[in-house]
Amino acid sequence: MLISLKQLGRCTRAQNVARSIKWSRRRLSGTTSRRAALLDDDLITLFDSPSRKPSTSIQARGLFLDDRITHPGMFQRLVDDTLVRADLLLRRILSAEHSRPELFQVVKNLDRLSDLLCGVIDLAEFVRNAHPDEEWVYHANSAYESLCEFMNTLNTHEGLDKVLDIVLGDTTVTSQLSTEALKTAHIFSADFARSGRNLPPHQRGRFVTLSSEILTLGRAFLNEASAPRPPISIPASQLQGFKSHTNRFSGKSLTIYPGSVQAHDIMKSSTNESLRRRLYVAARSSSVAQVEILERLLRARAEMAKLVGFDSFASMTLDDKMAKSPDNVTNFLSVLATHNRPYALNDIEKIRQRKHTVLGNSQSHDIHPWDRDIYLPPQSPESPIIMPPLTVGRVFRALSRLFTKIYGISFRPVNVSLGEVWHDDVQKLEVVDEAEGVIGWIYTDLFSRSGKPNGAAHYTVRCSRRLDEDNLSNDLPITTDSSRTLRPPDVAHRIRGHDGLWQLPIVVLMCEFSRSSLNHGQAILDWQEVSTLCHEMGHAMHSMIGRTEYHNVSGTRCATDFVELPSILMEHFLTSPTVLALFHDSEPDLPSSSINSAHPQQNVSALDTHDQIMLASLDQEYHSRAALEPGFDSTAVLAALTDRQGVWPYVQGTSWQTQFGHLFSYGATYYSYLFDRAIASQVWSTLFQNNPLDREKGEKFKREVLKWGGGKDPWEMVSAVLDDPRLASGDAQAMRQIGQWRIAYDVSSAGTHL
């Protein structure tokens, strides 16, 4: 594909407030930039004591400083202009068949075309998922769908594929392309192959239809996955032993929504097993319509894969991933499950023993999944907390200190213009490399609000790429039609130590931290929220450091089963006493025992890892050839897998697969979380565990992994950073080797309980 689609989301309406903040300024050493830059302590001021007074001295601008999008109605004009420019680039690429000099520019121009479309699609995707104003969401969604339809047409364009084949078949041309350019060319070629390049016209038409159908079904599936399940009515007599404020209600019954705070409280504290079972089943039930949406999606994906010559959707998807094939994924999961199963069964035995201790001999001690939350012992003992209050500002200051020590990179708050951001909560950081200067920007939107999507996410609004060879022949004139053509923002920057002009990355970090813990205007994060923020910051740093000449391999635009490595590695740093010292004002050299006792561990039990293995296995089965078999029943597949590989049997009446949203966004690649957790554990123990602030090791991780984005074979990157040549080939044995690595049980889990 020319475009990489990300997870879809939901948005509803709230009030958008634009604002800016006045800051004292100092000039960055060694640069002519006049951008605002402050000491680390000013990060605390930015996040913990933000100014709410808009600055009248700053001119109103468009969203993300793009003046083409100052109000929602401009999206359609932006789409029209983008299609005009895309057509001009398309014509130039197609003309290369008859112009040998142009053959040398085909890969660059394909990447320019991809960047042109992504520049609007990524912006529209973010806005439709995150903007609090319904009008913005509506116009962004229309723009997104229009350009995705155009993208589907390009993906099956015979001429583009033909020209690229000419380039790759001409050794005179390929010998002059860089390694990164060749990698980009082969990515395009593989994507064209998966888009039906060799199909006759009527089958190509079917491919386009299926592509659109999958997008529509995927969005419907995600909407249903996050929809609340029907409530249940609980008689007062069943609330005995329920340690919550809800036992003080007046009346004969209480209405509880599965998944609500009240439901979680009941599952964790009520000794009424029948009640817990009702809530467990209710939380994991699905309507016939919800199941049908998922199964239609799976069938459409399977048909698409078969149409282009693959055995299954998993085979098609994994063809260019680290895993390479479904068999390799199955082998990896099997090795990992064999290692983990005894530990998971040990967790089950702990539940059994605790249930016996609590209930004595008065009730049955059969163990069920609804016993887990109430009887699974805590993973770490309570201990005195000597860490300072973990305000958002203090966490960002600690992260800036950490990145300064291992990468030579720090964060600096900057002013935002009126209209630049979508909500009053949003803050902006300049990312500064001590050698290169400013290398990108991070916008943070951290607090929950009505209508905001659930969970945490990293959005790439703009990728890094080299610009100085663009438009040398004036192929994209700015003012061909002043009545409709918009002037793109000036995104060309110089980077110290790099030749040419560069487009710098822009990313957004989205979280849903609660404001219920506000203390004198400061939000105090719990340790899980700190871990979440560090995880998303790992993605952001990948985007910032992945300095590639081509947009299509920049930063996090890499193999799906590799992209989580930097973010999961970040979570490991929070297990180090040396790193925890960075959260203190003066970075004290505290005794390891003192900081360890203060570290509120969020351990992953073996049951959590078992859950992830089951989710990854279900993802593989759903995207196998079985999806096209007559009578395919996703619930029956779930039940059979649970009884075959689970540590407790399938519960009749449950069909929680319709709530597994990653089936769409990570279709056939959900194993990536486990896979990258295993690699991250190995990288941590090899490079950082003994000295997590070692600059030499940090530079090695930058040099061997982060800087390449997707421009190098990820197996070669892992092999180089671990000094293990056995991994370089990425064969089945390498997959098994990773499956044998121990996944640390003190890093937060990516998923939820089954």
Q: What is the set of active-site residues?
A: 536
Using CA atoms, how far residue 78 sits from 91, 130, 147, in Å, is 20, 19, 11
Give the H or E element holding residue 204: helix 201-225
Asked if 709 and 555 count as a contact pair (C-beta separation under 8 A), the reply is yes
Q: Which value, to the nearest 10 degrees, does the dihedral of the CA atoms of residues 554, 505, 432, 712 take?
A: 0
Give the H or E element holding residue 233: strand 232-235
Cα–Cα distance between 552 and 465 in angstroms, integer? 9
Cα–Cα distance between 373 and 258 in angstroms, integer? 14
Cα–Cα distance between 671 and 82 in angstroms, integer? 36
Neighbours of 39 (CB within 10 A): 14
* Residues with Cβ within 8 Å of residue 611, at least 6 apart in sequence: 749, 751, 752, 753, 754
Cα–Cα distance between 449 and 515 in angstroms, integer? 9
* Residues with Cβ within 8 Å of residue 248, at least 6 apart in sequence: none
Backbone angles phi, psi at 564, to 5 degrees: -85, -10
Asked if 589 and 393 count as a contact pair (C-beta separation under 8 A), the reply is no
In eight-state DSSP terms, residue 521 is T
In eight-state DSSP terms, residue 687 is I
Which residue carries 């053509």 as its tokens? 485
Angle between helix 695-704 and 392-407 (nearest 10): 80
Cα–Cα distance between 463 and 504 in angstroms, integer? 7
Output the CA torsion sign for 573, 577, 578, 582: positive
* Residues with Cβ within 8 Å of residue 640, at least 6 apart in sequence: none
SS3 722: helix
Backbone angles phi, psi at 413, to 5 degrees: -65, 145
Widest pairwise Cα distance in the chain: 86
In eight-state DSSP terms, residue 662 is H
Using CA atoms, how far residue 5 sits from 26, 145, 607, in Å, is 40, 12, 32
Angle between helix 565-573 and 527-545 (nearest 10): 130
Type of residue at 191: D
Q: Which two tokens stand for residue 298?
A: 């799976």
In 405-538, the DSSP E strands lie at: 409-413, 427-433, 437-447, 457-462, 465-466, 492-493, 502-503, 506-513, 518-519, 522-523
Which residue carries 């999606």 as its tokens? 297
The alpha carbon of residue 579 and the mean position of all alpha carbons in its chain are separated, in whole angstroms, by 24
Cα–Cα distance between 754 and 614 in angstroms, integer? 9
Using CA atoms, how far residue 444 sits from 399, 457, 529, 530, in Å, is 14, 11, 14, 14
